[in-house]
Amino acid sequence: MSRRSSSSLLRVAVFAALLAAPLAAPLAALLAAPLAAQAPVPPALVPVLQQLERDNAWTVEQQVSICEVPAPPFKEQARAAEFKRRLEALGFAGARVDAVGNVIAERPGAVARPVTILSAHLDTVFPEGTDVTVRKVGGELHGPGIGDDCRGLAALLAVARVFEQHKVRTAGPIVFVGTVGEEGPGNLRGVRHLVTKEYAGRVDHFISVDGAGIGITSRAVGSHRYTVRFKGPGGHSYGAFGMPNPIHAAGRAIAKLADLKVPASPRTTFNVGVVGGGTSVNSIAMEGSFELDMRSESAEALQALDQQARAAIEAALGEERARWPESRKALDVVMDTIGIRPADARQADTMPIVRAALAAARAVGKPVARTSASSTDANVPLALGIPAITVGGGGTGSGAHGSEERYEDGPDGHKGPQFVALLVAQLAGLRR
Ligand SMILES: [Zn+2]
């Protein structure tokens, strides 16, 4: 709490006032029963949840068919157009694509605030040309992105549809958003544009439905990602021997990075995930490069790791230069930023948005024992002091970011959209 800005405290106060208002009575009732194994469902939502269970096959069909529209990084347009078309078909005539490619459909409330954003991400990690056919194998669905995040997109469509069918009324608007750029290279550009431009200063709650399960991610893992390039003139491996070697320098740097010490708590990690450079076995390369990913729940720990990594890379440069004191050939290093995601902005489990999510999970009979930390679209609003969480869309998933990604709806798949529907209705202020 100590690191939260005064404006976020004000926002918390506003939310607390909303909780106290009569229109939010069902949420108050939910929050008043934290020890109950199964929190009560507001009566107005009982038929809504029943409908979601009956329509489960429709939800899964949406998940499969939207997933068969490719959405590589920076090329989400086709899937965005399809997602917009589906929202329009559900009654959201005003659905639109914003300047960076997010799909936005606003469902008005009785009043202008609170604004609750319910989002899922359109993009995948898979490059253009990937076979995105979804295969049914026993009770499982196999396909790139089937859980991450076609499940989230399907949950959004299911909630949008059932709220229209049952004319669910809320105090504040619910904004359904399919975001672009959630995965690595996108660097959260979609959500950043959404909360700093489209809805600047007027987001009261942000929910991202990302992947399967009914987990609750309430804290942001930050990441610093770089491409590190050692560069020199290069030359013949025999004839030009005796000059600094960019690949050897990269090797020295990687060896130093591999030995860095990081705290186990707050969890802090590093990884060299890609190496590159060189043209042939008998050439001193002109470049030796690698891609480095560093993450932490703590901004301070991440900054400390960043400094250690930079020092290690500088030391490797110095050692490779010093290895060939006679040489006049240059060796340099440059670090290009792939992405910086904000860490920290710790959100305690006692915050209303987290308590509402915990209560919603209990209400569908899927209590969540422990909230988690991750790197998701919620990082950006969290860093701005906006209450934000990432939740799962139900079912079970495995193998995210791999070509063998799997999703199993099982007997409880419908509980994901039910959980999301309860949560968003409570945050938006359910009216009967
Ligand atoms: Zn995801």
- Expressed in angstroms and rounded, the spacing between residue 232 Cα and the centre of ligand 1 is 39
What is the full DSSP assignment across 354-376? HHHHHHHHHHTT---S--EEE-S
**For residue 141, what are its two tokens?**
């669905």
193: CB partners within 8 A, 6+ apart: 98, 99, 100, 102
**CATH class of the domain comprising 6-220+343-431:** alpha beta
- Expressed in angstroms and rounded, the spacing between residue 209 Cα and the centre of ligand 1 is 8
- Expressed in angstroms and rounded, the spacing between residue 145 Cα and the centre of ligand 1 is 8
Q: Which amino acid is located at 77 in the chain?
A: Q
- One digit per residue, the tens of pLDDT, for the chain of length 432 reads 333 333 333 333 333 333 333 334 444 444 444 434 456 899 999 999 999 999 999 999 999 999 999 999 999 999 999 999 999 999 999 999 999 999 999 999 999 999 999 999 999 999 999 999 999 999 999 999 999 999 999 999 999 999 999 999 999 999 999 999 998 778 899 999 999 999 999 999 999 999 999 999 998 888 999 999 999 999 999 999 999 999 999 999 999 999 999 999 889 999 999 999 999 999 999 999 999 999 998 889 999 999 999 999 999 999 999 999 999 999 999 999 998 887 755 688 889 999 999 999 999 999 999 898 888 999 899 989 899 999 999 999 999 888 789 999 999 999 999 999 999 999 999 997
Residue 129, CB-side half-sphere exposure with 13 Å CA sphere: 0
- Expressed in angstroms and rounded, the spacing between residue 124 Cα and the centre of ligand 1 is 8
Q: Which amino acid is located at 335 in the chain?
A: M
- Expressed in angstroms and rounded, the spacing between residue 290 Cα and the centre of ligand 1 is 25
Q: Which pLDDT score is estimated for 345? A: 54
Q: Which amino acid is located at 256 in the chain?
A: K
Please report, for residues 13, 15, 275, 364, 386, the alpha-carbon distance to residue 10 in angstroms, rounded to integers and kept in the order given. 5, 9, 47, 31, 11
Q: Which residues of 173-206 are buried (b: 16+ CB within 10 A; e: fewer)?
A: bbbbbbbbbbbbebbbbbbbbbbeebbeeebbbb
Q: Which fold is adopted by the domain 222-341?
A: Alpha-Beta Plaits (3.30.70)
Give which of 138, 309, 324 is closest to 232, Cα–Cα: 324
Question: If you ran DSSP here, which 8-state letter would residue 394 be given?
Answer: B
Domain ranges of the chain: 6-220+343-431, 222-341
- Expressed in angstroms and rounded, the spacing between residue 184 Cα and the centre of ligand 1 is 10
- Expressed in angstroms and rounded, the spacing between residue 320 Cα and the centre of ligand 1 is 40
- Expressed in angstroms and rounded, the spacing between residue 339 Cα and the centre of ligand 1 is 16
- Expressed in angstroms and rounded, the spacing between residue 222 Cα and the centre of ligand 1 is 15
Shared fold status for 6-220+343-431 and 222-341: no
**For residue 407, what are its two tokens?**
């999703």
Report every protein residue that has its C-beta within 5 angstroms of ion ligand 1: 148-149, 210
- Expressed in angstroms and rounded, the spacing between residue 237 Cα and the centre of ligand 1 is 45
- Expressed in angstroms and rounded, the spacing between residue 144 Cα and the centre of ligand 1 is 12
Q: Which pLDDT score is estimated for 186? A: 82
- Expressed in angstroms and rounded, the spacing between residue 379 Cα and the centre of ligand 1 is 13
- Expressed in angstroms and rounded, the spacing between residue 214 Cα and the centre of ligand 1 is 14
Q: Which pLDDT score is estimated for 18? A: 38
- Expressed in angstroms and rounded, the spacing between residue 182 Cα and the centre of ligand 1 is 7
- Expressed in angstroms and rounded, the spacing between residue 247 Cα and the centre of ligand 1 is 34
- Expressed in angstroms and rounded, the spacing between residue 392 Cα and the centre of ligand 1 is 10
- Expressed in angstroms and rounded, the spacing between residue 401 Cα and the centre of ligand 1 is 9
- Expressed in angstroms and rounded, the spacing between residue 80 Cα and the centre of ligand 1 is 16
- Expressed in angstroms and rounded, the spacing between residue 147 Cα and the centre of ligand 1 is 8
- Expressed in angstroms and rounded, the spacing between residue 319 Cα and the centre of ligand 1 is 40
Q: Which pLDDT score is estimated for 285? A: 98
Give which of 301, 377, 382, 302 is closest to 347, Cα–Cα: 382
Q: Which pLDDT score is estimated for 39? A: 64
- Expressed in angstroms and rounded, the spacing between residue 121 Cα and the centre of ligand 1 is 7
